[in-house]
């Protein structure tokens, strides 16, 4: 048996020889990474520099954009190096660091989307009490708690992953997912699997329950309220719902292709599905919120 501390590197076999085309793929990936950085940094600067946007919803959006920079940076530089490399190996320490970044990004994203839905629920259903409930101090505490809790949960999961004894170092992936490393284990993984199930359920179902509850309340107010109330709800909730569906689809794709045998699916499609939740939401969200939220749209136009 081979202990995980003896695995110095992992081999990524999902990459295929593209010859001179690798430079084209490198430029395409670099282009998307540049767009993600540009869009998210631009909106973070817009929110931070304009006092009229120092409201709870925009502060939560700023946290969302920072998280998308964090998640995409955990993937794209790694991809760029691997595309140009002829030997697709990654050291164990870098692999575990990437797992920490990617899974932290996923947890923070779900919790951020849940707290944004709760913020919209208070603004639409209890507008007179909104400022009393959503104070600046409470907003900062909630954001700090989201990030701290996600990091702590992932640190414990990472320690459990590193402690597994591995009987191989070959991953049929283009990056380092936790599921694939667990499949290499030749020791008992019940403790790791149980912890992963509990944390995954907490990280997914708790935010989804919050989102479902808040949107049921918002819909009730919309159907029983005025036309102005319905318009306000639609204008502020549409980008959030689009972000939630986009990210949820990406996570579902990742879980399906990690948990189940998808050898009958073309390799390039498997790669795209596995990268969807790390590429599309960071690119899609700033565009969606920038176009749909009138305050951000007006300020962006004036700045441009």
pLDDT for 225 equals 67
**CB under 8 Å to 234, separation ≥6 — which residues?**
222
Could you count the other beta carbons within 10 Å of the beta carbon of residue 273? 18
Contact predicate 277/71, CB 8 Å:
no
- Nearest CA among 120, 115, 116, 144 for reference residue 130: 120
Beta strand 89-91 with 9-12: parallel, antiparallel or unpaired? antiparallel
Which is more confidently placed, 23 or 258? 23
pLDDT for 35 equals 93
Q: What percent of the chain has pLDDT over 90?
A: 26
Structure tokens at 147: 């990030």
Q: How confident is the model at residue 138 (pLDDT cuts 50, 70, 90)?
A: very high
Mean pLDDT throughout 7-17?
Answer: 82
Q: Where on the phi/psi map is residue 19: left (φ > 0), alpha (ψ -120 to 50), or beta? A: left
Whether the pLDDT of residue 211 is over 50: the answer is: yes
pLDDT for 238 equals 80
Mean pLDDT throughout 94-122?
Answer: 91
Alpha carbons 79 and 26: distance in angstroms, whole number: 8
Q: What sign has the CA pseudo-torsion 30, 303, 284, 206?
A: positive
**CB under 8 Å to 106, separation ≥6 — which residues?**
71, 203, 251, 277
Q: What sign has the CA pseudo-torsion 167, 169, 172, 176?
A: positive
| Averaged pLDDT of the chain | 84
Whether the pLDDT of residue 4 is over 70: the answer is: no
Alpha carbons 69 and 75: distance in angstroms, whole number: 10
Contact predicate 218/120, CB 8 Å:
yes
Q: How confident is the model at residue 223 (pLDDT cuts 50, 70, 90)?
A: confident
pLDDT for 5 equals 47
Mean pLDDT throughout 107-128?
Answer: 89
Whether the pLDDT of residue 2 is over 70: the answer is: no
CA 261 to chain centre: 24
Q: For 273-291, how does the pLDDT look when each residue is reduced to its tens digit (9 = 90+)?
A: 778 888 888 998 888 887 7
Q: For 39-86, how does the pLDDT look when each residue is reduced to its tens digit (9 = 90+)?
A: 999 999 989 988 888 889 899 999 999 999 999 999 999 999 998 888
- Nearest CA among 149, 43, 154 for reference residue 101: 154
Highest mean pLDDT among 60-69, 232-241, 284-293, 294-303: 60-69
pLDDT for 1 equals 38
Alpha carbons 168 and 91: distance in angstroms, whole number: 14
Compute φ and ψ for 86, nearest 5 degrees.
-90, -25
pLDDT for 27 equals 93
Compute φ and ψ for 55, nearest 5 degrees.
-115, 160
Q: Give me the domains of the chain, ranges plus CATH numbers.
A: 2-303 (1.20.1070.10)
Compute φ and ψ for 3, nearest 5 degrees.
-70, 150
Q: For 171-204, how does the pLDDT look when each residue is reduced to its tens digit (9 = 90+)?
A: 888 888 888 888 888 877 777 778 777 887 888 8
């Amino acid at each position: 048996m081979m202990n995980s501390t003896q695995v110095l590197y992992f081999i990524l076999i999902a990459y295929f020889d593209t010859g001179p085309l690798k430079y084209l793929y490198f430029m395409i990936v670099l282009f998307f990474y540049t767009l993600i950085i540009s869009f998210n940094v631009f909106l973070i600067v817009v929110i931070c520099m304009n006092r009229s946007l120092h409201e709870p919803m925009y502060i939560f959006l700023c946290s969302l954009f920072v998280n998308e920079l964090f998640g995409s940076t955990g993937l794209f530089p790694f991809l760029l190096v691997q595309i140009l490399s002829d030997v697709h190996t990654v050291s164990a320490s870098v692999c575990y660091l990437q797992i920490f970044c990617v899974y932290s990004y996923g947890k923070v994203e779900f919790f951020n989307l849940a707290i944004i839905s709760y913020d919209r629920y208070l603004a639409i259903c209890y507008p007179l009490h909104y400022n009393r409930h959503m104070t600046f101090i409470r907003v900062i505490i909630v954001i700090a708690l989201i990030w701290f809790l996600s990091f702590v949960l992932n640190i414990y999961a990472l320690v459990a992953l590193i402690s597994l004894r591995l009987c191989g170092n070959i991953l049929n992936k283009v990056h380092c997912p936790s599921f694939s490393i667990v499949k290499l284990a030749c020791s008992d993984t019940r403790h790791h699997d149980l912890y992963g199930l509990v944390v995954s359920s907490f990280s997914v179902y708790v935010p989804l329950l919050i989102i479902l509850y808040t949107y049921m309340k918002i819909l009730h107010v919309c159907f029983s309220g005025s036309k102005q109330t319905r318009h306000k709800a639609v204008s502020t909730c549409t980008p959030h719902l689009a972000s939630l569906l986009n990210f949820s689809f990406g996570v579902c794709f990742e879980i399906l292709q990690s948990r189940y045998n998808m050898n009958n699916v073309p390799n390039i499609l498997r790669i795209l599905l596995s990268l969807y939740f790390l590429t599309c939401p960071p690119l899609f969200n700033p565009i969606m919120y920038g176009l749909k939220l009138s305050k951000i749209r007006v300020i962006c136009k004036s700045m441009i």
